[in-house]
Amino acid sequence: MARSHPNPCQVCPGSCCRELAVTVSIVDVARIHRYLHIPVHDFLARYVDEDPKEEPFAFIIRKQPIALALLPPDGLDRGCSFLMDVGGHLRCGIYDYRPGTCRVYPFTDQGERVRHKRGTLCPRRFDLDDLRAEDIRREIARYQEEWLIHAEFAWQWNADPPRHASFQKLLDFVDEIVQSGKV
């Protein structure tokens, strides 16, 4: 891996945003839809697709575990539709409201310290001084809390799925949760 940089994302070609599926929680859906100022159902229809995922965060549809993921850009099978070219640099179009998955990538706090996950797409490493590591640790804790909220809704869906469950009915379920202010 190349040498360290205070914020490697500023010099990155957008590898993670172009190569990975961006899984989102219901909390992410609420945050992003509010930022975009569009109805929840419109946001879901325009930007969210299904992605095979493991429990406890998955919704079961026809015995298959399904997660929510941002749709890739037109014509691609992966990546994020919010990745934008700004003056020849790839940047996140919703950076302050980006999904938790993006906020914590490529870090983990397994064990006693924050570190890079193995096998990430990052071309450079971050300088992780103690202050920055604490910020990342707080972001990881927030991310985990958001996924626990999401898991509770997945449990509700899975405990009593609608008759003839479909991805469309799941989107209606998510729409009702966000519209009601539960997240």
User: Among residues 25, 15, 143, which one has the least CA distance to residue 80?
Assistant: 15
Specify if 181 maps to a domain: no
User: What's the CA gap between 80 and 51, in Å, rounded?
Assistant: 13
Specify if 52 maps to a domain: yes
Q: What is the pLDDT of residue 1?
A: 42
Q: How many domains does the chain have?
A: 1
Q: What is the pLDDT of residue 63?
A: 86
Specify if 57 maps to a domain: yes
Q: What is the pLDDT of residue 147?
A: 93
Specify if 178 maps to a domain: no
pLDDT in tens, the chain (183 residues): 444 545 667 777 778 888 888 889 999 999 999 999 999 989 998 899 887 766 668 899 988 888 898 988 887 788 899 988 888 878 889 999 999 988 888 887 776 777 777 777 776 666 666 557 788 888 889 999 999 999 999 999 999 988 888 999 999 999 999 999 999
Domain containing 51 equals: 8-169
Specify if 174 maps to a domain: no
Specify if 180 maps to a domain: no
Q: What is the pLDDT of residue 133?
A: 78
CA distances from 70 to 77, 81, 160 (A): 11, 7, 25
User: What's the CA gap between 63 and 143, in Å, rounded?
Assistant: 27
Specify if 179 maps to a domain: no
CA distances from 108 to 4, 103, 123, 139 (A): 17, 11, 17, 10
Mode of pairing for the β-strands spanning 124-126 and 2-5: parallel
Specify if 1 maps to a domain: no
